[in-house]
């Protein structure tokens, strides 16, 4: 099971028994260039209006990382404030699409998640993981911060745990820490066990009243109605910081 070789990544959706499985992939540890973030946003918005879909599974390709966050290759190309704000708005749009989607989203977190990948896991309504699914917010190490994803992460794990992850930017937190804080609902020893549980829970959800599921989705996200504006503002903060001398210096070792 390998990830795609396409430089812009891949996105596939399979709908079966009222369950939509959305799988993203990228050769650089399932990171997201802007074009792939937009494709995922559009797909989630489309599925939100698909009456044949009762529940969504979000998963990453391959057997290694779940998601390494935003594309470093693209980040290195940002040359002005407008480009920076646009780049960071990609994850803002995806998180808002997950938030406003009328379907419950189950996250299949099979491996490590960094930065925006943690944001994706946090924006799922129910996330299941393996023991390999460690998490890290490493943004400080490159001169920025997890501003765009912070509201989604804080909503799940609280401001104390968000601060702990952000400040200890070079530290991995293991999957059981993430479960204890509320990011993951359950942690499994193997991908096989993870997939078995996902099949069980999604088939149960697919059999429930879809109107009840949608109504509960709205309840779960009450109080986040300002996120369209909030996350766009956060993207502007990162867009400005990425142009700073400190960030340019921190990013220099990543140039190929």
Q: What would the two tokens of residue 114 be?
A: 């960094």
Distance CA 21, CA 172 (A): 28
Distance CA 251, CA 41 (A): 27
User: Do residues 153 and 118 lie in contact, with contact meaning Cβ atoms separated by under 8 Å?
Assistant: yes
In this prediction, residue 3 carries a pLDDT of 58
In this prediction, residue 255 carries a pLDDT of 75
Among residues 13, 115, 130, which one has the least CA distance to residue 72? 115
β-bridge mates for residue 16, sequence order = 19
In this prediction, residue 82 carries a pLDDT of 94
In tens digits, the chain (256 residues) has pLDDT values of: 455 778 789 999 999 999 999 999 999 999 999 999 999 999 999 999 999 999 999 999 999 999 999 998 898 899 999 999 999 999 999 999 999 999 999 999 999 999 999 999 999 999 999 999 999 999 999 999 999 999 999 999 999 999 999 999 999 999 999 999 999 999 999 999 999 999 999 999 999 999 999 999 999 999 999 999 999 999 999 999 999 999 888 888 887 6
In this prediction, residue 256 carries a pLDDT of 66
In this prediction, residue 29 carries a pLDDT of 95
- Would residue 171 be called left, alpha or beta, if left means φ above 0 and alpha means ψ between -120 and 50 degrees? beta
pTM reported for the whole predicted model: 0.96
3-state secondary structure of 160: helix
Q: For the chain, report the end-to-end CA distance as a whole number of angstroms.
A: 27
Phi, psi of 18 (to 5 degrees): 70, 15
């Amino acid at each position: 099971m390998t990830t795609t070789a396409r430089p812009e990544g891949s996105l596939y959706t399979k709908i079966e028994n009222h369950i939509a499985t959305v799988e993203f992939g990228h050769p650089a540890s399932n990171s997201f260039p802007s074009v792939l973030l937009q494709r995922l946003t559009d797909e989630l918005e489309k599925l939100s209006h698909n009456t044949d879909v009762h529940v969504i599974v979000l998963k990453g390709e391959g057997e290694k990382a779940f998601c390494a966050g935003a594309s470093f290759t693209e980040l290195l190309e940002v040359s002005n404030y407008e480009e920076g704000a646009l780049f960071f708005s990609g994850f803002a749009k995806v998180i808002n699409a997950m938030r406003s989607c009328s379907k419950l989203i189950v996250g299949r977190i099979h491996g490590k998640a960094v930065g925006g990948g943690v944001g994706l896991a946090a924006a799922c309504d129910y996330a299941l993981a393996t023991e390999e699914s460690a998490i890290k917010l490493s943004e400080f190490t490159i001169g920025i911060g997890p501003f765009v994803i912070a509201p989604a992460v804080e909503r799940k794990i609280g401001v104390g745990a968000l601060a702990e992850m952000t400040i200890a930017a070079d530290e991995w937190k293991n999957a059981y820490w993430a479960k204890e804080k509320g990011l993951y609902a359950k942690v499994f020893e193997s991908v096989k066990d993870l997939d078995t549980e996902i099949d069980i829970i999604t088939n149960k959800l697919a059999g429930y009243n879809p109107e009840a599921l949608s109504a509960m989705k709205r309840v779960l996200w009450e109080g986040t109605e300002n996120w369209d504006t909030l996350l766009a503002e956060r993207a502007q903060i990162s867009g400005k910081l990425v142009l700073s001398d400190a960030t340019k210096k921190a990013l220099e070792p990543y140039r190929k």
